[in-house]
Amino acid sequence: MLRALSLVLLFALACGDDDTPADASLADASLDATADAPDAPREYEPEPFEPTGATRAYCPRDADAIEARITEALRSLTIEEKVALMHGARVGLTDGVWLVRGNERFGFPGLRMLDGPRGLSAMSGKTGTAFPVAMLRGATWDPELERRVGAAIAREHRSAGADVVLAPTINVLRHPRWGRAQETYSEDVHHLGAMGVAFIEGVQSEDLLASVKHYAANSIEDTRHEVDVQIDERTLREVYLPHFRRAVQDARVASVMSAYNSINGAWADQNEPLLRDILKGEWGFQGFVESDWIWGTHGSATSVRAGLDLEMPSRVAFRPLIGEVRSGALEERYLDDAVRRIVRAQLCYGLDERTPSEDPSARETEAHRALAREVARRGIVLLRNEEVDGVAALPLAAGASIALVGLGDVPNIGDDGSSSVRARHVVTALEGLSAVATVTDLGRSLEEDEHGALLAADAVVAVVGLVAEDEGEATIGAGDRATLAMPEAHVALVRALASLHERVIVIVEGGAAVLVEDFEAEVEAILWAGYPGQAGGHAIADVLFGAHAPSGRLPFSWPRREADLPPFDNTSAVVTYDFLHGYRHLDHHGAAARYPFGFGRSYATFAYANLRVTGTLDAGAMLEVEVDVTNEGETAAVETVQLYVSALGSAVPRAPRDLRAFAQVELAGGATETVRLRVEADELRYWDVGASAWVLEPIDYELAVGRDAADLRLRVTLSAP
């Protein structure tokens, strides 16, 4: 509790006046300055360092020259100077960024960090484009679009003087009650990897550094500072790490943020198996690891030895570090490794070649606002669309009038946590719909004297669900959700509307599933809009009136009842993450979702035919899968083809099926195209705990292709040799 209160104070400080005195125990940390240069040159020879293929792949610039420059510096930097490079400058922000100082003597420029996941951090004190939250972007299933979002966010960060984007968040959505559900992309490992890689590539294409977070197993908010997550080795390897590996090996992410929680008894920042052995060893990560903020560093020598390179946002736990190296408790080579990684990142991204500058004209540009709208309309998921008088309730006909009720006038763009963004203007559902239709705004609830206005409208649009007070990052936001249920007042409102009007369209907002059982059968249409960002109102109008045929697909399972999911324990000091969650859990238990993972209706219908597979399931091989998709409707629409794999007769317990590929096609009405998917044979392996190795079992694998996890249309079985 004390910790929580101090954090609130610190974040208030971070956002506010720099001169406000901080929590006494931390105040002097903010006085910490770059260490003075030595009077006499040192006699010190660091361990030799030979750049490898991984070092060169990490570095967009001349890796060999940079490594030689760092080696030279390591010879003469003092221990104090080295440690000064290994922590943030102060508890609060400096000139609107989280500053890590450099070293003038060697021309090391330092780092300037800002969150994040849905745009330029509000903590910068500046406005920026509020993109839809990551979960809604995940619903686009479109990595190419996400790459553009990453690049746009990077440009806005750069325009605010930052060079590190503290994003993407790629923690597994293990349960929809997780307060930061909105910040990540998915419940599924393959999908998370694809979207995370795309965001990182977008950021880094602009010569900024991405910082993927929170490594690892950070999927609960309320106990995030205390909880120990117990995970067996197979589950860790197969469910909680693969997307981080892809961030490192496929996207060459510049930095990794460790989580607050501990994993199997060791804090994430002191977790040698995770940091030193897997991340830096097996995966060959060449960048630096920074702690999560304030209480994310749990020791000095112990953390550094385990693989933490940078304490953020200031030196607190790292205070004994200089003494520990001097006394021999920690060998200086550990500092050398950390400094090399931190400076490598600075030089490989050319931060020494540019001066951070401020350019408000690069933020909330017309192009970025248009992108925010495009992403929102691509992500909104149509969950239900029943007929009214023989015609689907949606799309609405041009000229249709609307009675709007609920959260329609709320600029509902996400939580109040570290990912929060302040836009100059948010287009609400009310504003977006009013731009294309006659809208009667009935406000938050329905009064009796409004029944006439309600009945006079062609359609009723009810915006319901969650707001920042219901869910978000803990400590600075609302934390985990108390329930999966829809707020009672919203259920009552929707039911009242349904009893009065024949065309009730419900738009559910929130970071993930909110139960709809209490009214689903009574309304004509339901959509999930996540937190749709600053252009969300326009996107909602685009979808409702058919300017865009809905194409979003759920990146999470939408259950009928909470009891169908694994338990969500956000009070215990120790929790277990087991092998199954999301659709893997539902499938295993034979529980039907209300709306399955991958689900989303369109205004078109699609037919699948001619599944063809070329290639073999040899280790390291790539299967090419083709399927012909026809748009049987009249409206042009985007279809997302999903491929799930089942291991038949495996020697170890497996999920009934796993998403292993997806691809998209935009088809005009009546058009047919061949969609190509690629499946990596290595993604069919399991982690053999005894052998400490990935194993591709010589068994049969069923590949099933379809629209979602429960609508699989074509199947083929292949044997692995």
Residues carrying an active site annotation: 292
Q: Which is nearer to ligand BGC, 288 or 583 (CB)?
A: 288
Rg (alpha carbons) of the chain, rounded to whole number: 26
87 is a contact residue toward ligand BGC (CB under 6 A): no
Give the nearest distance from C-beta 466 to ligand BGC in angstroms: 20
Give the nearest distance from C-beta 317 to ligand BGC in angstroms: 15
Give the nearest distance from C-beta 529 to ligand BGC in angstroms: 24
Q: Which is nearer to ligand BGC, 46 or 92 (CB)?
A: 92
Helix 536-544 to helix 366-379 angle (10° resolution) is 50
292 is a contact residue toward ligand BGC (CB under 6 A): yes
Give the nearest distance from C-beta 7 to ligand BGC in angstroms: 8
**Encoded amino acid at 463, one letter:** V
Give the nearest distance from C-beta 418 to ligand BGC in angstroms: 4
Q: What are phi and psi of 563, to 5 degrees?
A: -65, -15
Whether 676 contacts 183, CB under 8 Å: no
Residue 203, SS3? helix
118, 147, 191, 213: residue in contact with ligand BGC (rule CB under 6 A): 213
Measure the CA–CA gap between 287 and 285, rounded to whole angstroms: 6
Q: Which is nearer to ligand BGC, 415 or 697 (CB)?
A: 415
Burial level of 279, CB count in 10 A (0-12/13-18/19+)? buried
Q: Which is nearer to ligand BGC, 114 or 278 (CB)?
A: 114
480 is a contact residue toward ligand BGC (CB under 6 A): no
Residues 649-708 that bind ligand BGC (CB under 6 A): none
418 is a contact residue toward ligand BGC (CB under 6 A): yes
Measure the CA–CA gap between 423 and 671, rounded to whole angstroms: 40
**Cα(first)–Cα(last) distance of the chain, in Å?**
56
166 is a contact residue toward ligand BGC (CB under 6 A): yes
**Encoded amino acid at 655, one letter:** A
Give the nearest distance from C-beta 292 to ligand BGC in angstroms: 5
Q: Which is nearer to ligand BGC, 293 or 597 (CB)?
A: 293
269 is a contact residue toward ligand BGC (CB under 6 A): no
Q: Which long-range contacts (CB under 8 A, 24 or more apart) does 608-616 make?
A: 608/641, 608/705, 608/706, 608/713, 608/714, 609/714, 611/703, 611/705, 611/714, 611/715, 611/716, 613/703, 613/716, 613/718, 616/681, 616/718, 616/721
Residue 133, SS3? coil
Q: Which is nearer to ligand BGC, 14 or 704 (CB)?
A: 14
Whether 122 contacts 130, CB under 8 Å: no
293 is a contact residue toward ligand BGC (CB under 6 A): yes
Q: Which is nearer to ligand BGC, 214 or 340 (CB)?
A: 214
Q: Which is nearer to ligand BGC, 229 or 705 (CB)?
A: 229
Give the nearest distance from C-beta 211 to ligand BGC in angstroms: 8
Give the nearest distance from C-beta 467 to ligand BGC in angstroms: 20
Q: What is the DSSP string of 667-711?
A: E-TT-EEEEEEEEEGGGG-EEETTTTEEE--SSEEEEEEEEETTE
Measure the CA–CA gap between 308 and 127, rounded to whole angstroms: 32
221 is a contact residue toward ligand BGC (CB under 6 A): no
Q: Which is nearer to ligand BGC, 213 or 601 (CB)?
A: 213
Give the nearest distance from C-beta 293 to ligand BGC in angstroms: 4
User: 108: which DSSP letter?
Assistant: B
Buried/exposed 342-357: b ≥16 CB within 10 Å, e otherwise: bbbbbbbbebbeeebe
Q: Which long-range contacts (CB under 8 A, 24 or more apart) does 310-313 make?
A: 310/86, 310/87, 310/88, 310/100, 310/338, 310/342, 311/86, 311/87, 311/88, 312/87, 312/88, 312/98, 312/100, 312/113, 313/14, 313/88, 313/89, 313/90, 313/91, 313/92, 313/98
**695, β-bridge pairs:** 686
Residues 112-131 that bind ligand BGC (CB under 6 A): 115
Q: Give 379's contacts (C-beta < 8 A, 6+ positions apart).
A: 132, 136, 137, 138, 139, 140, 530, 532, 552
Q: Which is nearer to ligand BGC, 332 or 416 (CB)?
A: 416
Residue 40, SS3? coil
Query: By Cβ distance, which residue is nearest to ligand BGC?
Result: 418
Considering CB under 6 A, how many residues would be counted as binding ligand BGC? 6
Give the nearest distance from C-beta 122 to ligand BGC in angstroms: 10
Q: Give 484's contacts (C-beta < 8 A, 6+ positions apart).
A: 176, 177, 513, 514, 515, 559, 562, 565
199 is a contact residue toward ligand BGC (CB under 6 A): no
**455, β-bridge pairs:** none
Site residues (vs ligand BGC, CB under 6 A): 115, 166, 213, 292-293, 418
